[in-house]
A and B are shown apart, each in its own frame.
Chain A
């Protein structure tokens, strides 16, 4: 199994439709130190595409998306600035 950095913050956006998970991520990414990881838990299929797209637009790093046993994903984002 690959090494996954423990997130410094987990945002529970399960059951929330886009763009709400993205709004929550944008609000809270500055709560963690630089280079720390935020995990967004989401089950809206749009989030699977939109969180990495947000990272590209905002120059943060999409680390990976990991399937959750109960459905949805933990989408890991590293704060770059």
Chain B
């Protein structure tokens, strides 16, 4: 067991050993420009297209639907704005869930600045989007695109993507599904028109995102176009990193059934134990219908930054949605939209291989840390 238990997989999963091997091999042979015609270039091209085929197969897509971006955030930005641009004659209205990743909300802000409109559909106490309101929103005329994540990045709650996709299909509205937290861990939910994901969340290297545009979906790049990635993403592909990303995705999926079930059982253990051993705690999100690796809880009367600092000293890397721990002065928009306690917030997200002993050690040290912080704040 390492000295520090890394429990922040939802921010970044450690590099999968298969990805490391693939990266080292591809750095030596995949460096040339895949768009050229000489031997080294053809080799790079072959590696790139093989990776594309593997990623497409893993995500339930065709290779020609898959483009690689420089991050998951860029995949969302290009996916949202490119679909809106491609469908501008159909309308200028964007529908999204209130707890989407900030990349979706930021792309929506760009759309609004350019005269488009955005409708944000609220969520319940578990963080699940109001399906009735979502379906009603996409039924109105002039909707160019709807966005819904597969599962929430802060609280783990799975979104009703299949039902939302059916509502979108009924009205001819494309649905962008941000699968960043579940790709490589769970099957991709059906019905998407545009799919985005991020390799470093499934054990690939940082710097590779995936943008999948279903054949027949109108799409036009929001950025200046070049000949790369079927004109959807400008710029020279990072072939070695893409090869490593594909290797990590295949390896993660091969292990997913057993490993994600194991992590999910550890999450269950945290969800069940924390309220028994820490008084005045709220465990947040759906206990069952959720991403397998994420659990979030908030401790009443506790400063989130103090708790993160104490956990760091005790050897646990976790994150928080409390305002004091964010770069802004606002708490996480996810916790706000859910109406749950935003202070004293801790997100535990388990990487592949997280040991049961580490989780037990976390549960052993947590009650005393919380008690001491409350005592220092004068809470009886």
Contacts and interface: CB of A to CB of B under 8 A. Distances in A.
Interface of A: 17-20, 22-23, 26, 44-46, 48-50, 52-54, 56-57
Contact of B342 (A20, A26, A49): A49
Nearest to A18: B343
Given A45-B330, A52-B339, A19 B301 contact: yes
Interface residues of B, number: 23
A49 B331 contact: yes
Contacts of A44: 323
Main secondary structure of the interface of B (DSSP, over half): loop
Given A19-B301, A22-B301, A26-B301, A53 B282 contact: yes
B251 interface: no
5 contacts: A17-B323, A46-B342, A49-B336, A52-B339, A53-B340
Contacts of B336: 45, 48-49
A54 B280 CA distance: 10
A49 B128 CA distance: 18
Interface of B: 280, 282, 300-303, 322-324, 329-331, 335-336, 339-344, 377-379
Contact of A45 (B302, B329, B377): B329
Given A17-B324, A23-B379, A50-B343, 9 more contacts: A18-B342, A18-B343, A19-B301, A23-B301, A23-B377, A45-B336, A48-B336, A50-B341, A57-B280
B122 to A, nearest CB: 13
Nearest to B336: A49
Contacts of B329: 45
Nearest to B377: A23
Nearest to A52: B339
**Chain B CB within 10 Å — which of A19, A49, A56 has the most?**
A19
A18 B339 CA distance: 15
A23 B339 CA distance: 18
A54 B300 contact: yes
A26 B343 CA distance: 15
Contacts of B302: 19
